[in-house]
Amino acid sequence: MSKGKVCLAYSGGLDTSVILAWLLEEGYEVIAFMANIGQEEDFEAARAKALKIGATKYVLVDVRKQFVESVLFPAVQVNAIYENVYLLGTSLARPVIAQAQIQVAEQEGCFAVSHGCTGKGNDQVRFELAFYALKPDVQVIAPWRDPLFFERFAGRKDLLEYAAEKNIEVTQTKAKPWSTDENMAHISFEAGILEDPDTTPPKDMWKLTVDPTDAPDVPEDFTVVFEKGLPVKLALADGTEFTDPVEIFIAANALARRNGVGRIDIVENRFIGIKSRGCYETPGLTVLRTAHIDLEGLTLDREVRAIRDTFVTPTYSKLLYNGMYFTPECEYVRGMIAPSQKTVNGVVRARAYKGSLIILGRSSSTEKLYDATESSMDELTGFQPQEASGFISVQAIRIKKFGESVREKGKLLDL
């Protein structure tokens, strides 16, 4: 007698393949759900594998267009970043995957959803908070928090042995025991030898990008066109142009990958309170975000940018990282992104070369915040030089008071 139907977020990898077999052992009927979110995956092989293990059905949902237009491009607009380094590649994908999984669960009559997130990571929070927002009455089966599961499978060694017993083919081996997660925005590498933060990642670990030392010796120039902060065209040096959002992102990925752009290696603070070491390749997002930041310098009002950078960007990034996408506060913050981008229209010329990005120039035919004659040292345009004296005098009022108070105490300001 089946305990009921469960929709499992299935990746085809070690963890979820073992979880699929375990759920079947526990008496559940399993629908294997998979999202095509731009990962390099043999989806037909994943389908065959899920059905071979015993899934009742395999459902693949293509969410790439929604991922780019609804999540990745807004992340470019807001320059999303966590702890000044991480471009949130994993976090960005979770709301899209969760939404598609809940839709499949409802279509297939599943009473519960399941995932392969560990009990120490961020993704369990991201997925489950999204599940509960999208379908408040859903039940969640989290094997890595179930004693029946985690006492049986203490680590990846046990998973690999179980997979061998069940004839489940896996790509992860004891020689390369790191865990990966891939989507159109990035790939992450964690666990195994990477848990020592002083261990240098082996060269053959990196998957998406060419090693910068092996990248072409000739720089590659390109142009990105933005309208209201959104990339609307990517033009390569050979004249090839891309205007469809998904094609723009794919082309940006390819450009960055072949030039070794987009690698990071960090120790970050997980929402759950644990520090963890992660290695990430985020090629296309690095290209588009860097170009966007540069164009804002030319086209975005100083005070608008200050407010956005002080509140909107860090708040949105933290909410996204912590899995709070489907919340009233994130809905509110997301609503602030587009209004800040009304003037971010123009063209950025850039160069990719051996792991680096170089801005060659930027221009805008619609925004006039920059006036070359005003900023010129060779022209008296905009205001007379003596007018700066009054500006300095007003700014100096409180600073003089500060200096006087220090001297009255018999002290001197020091470096």
**Enzyme catalytic residues:** 15, 94, 123, 179
User: For the residues of 133-186, what is the DSSP string, one character each?
Assistant: HH-TT-EEE-GGG-HHHHTT--SHHHHHHHHHHTT---S--SSS--EEEE-SS-
| Joined tokens for residue 415 | 């470096």
Nearest residue to 33 (alpha-carbon basis) of 89, 93, 125, 99: 99
| Joined tokens for residue 409 | 């105490």
What distance in Å separates the CA atoms of residue 280 and residue 206, rounded to the nearest whole number? Answer: 9
Polymer length of the chain: 415
Name the DSSP letter for residue 82: B
> Is the C-alpha dihedral spanning 350, 77, 92, 251 positive or negative?
negative
Output phi, psi for 162, to 5 deg: -65, -40
If DSSP codes are grouped into helix, strand and coil, which group holds residue 314? helix
Query: Which residues have C-beta within 8 Å of that of residue 293, sequence separation ≥ 6?
Result: 79
What distance in Å separates the CA atoms of residue 67 and residue 55, rounded to the nearest whole number? Answer: 27
Ranges of beta strands (E only) in 354-389 are 356-363
User: For the residues of 10-41, what is the DSSP string, one character each?
Assistant: --SSHHHHHHHHHHHHTT-EEEEEEEESS---
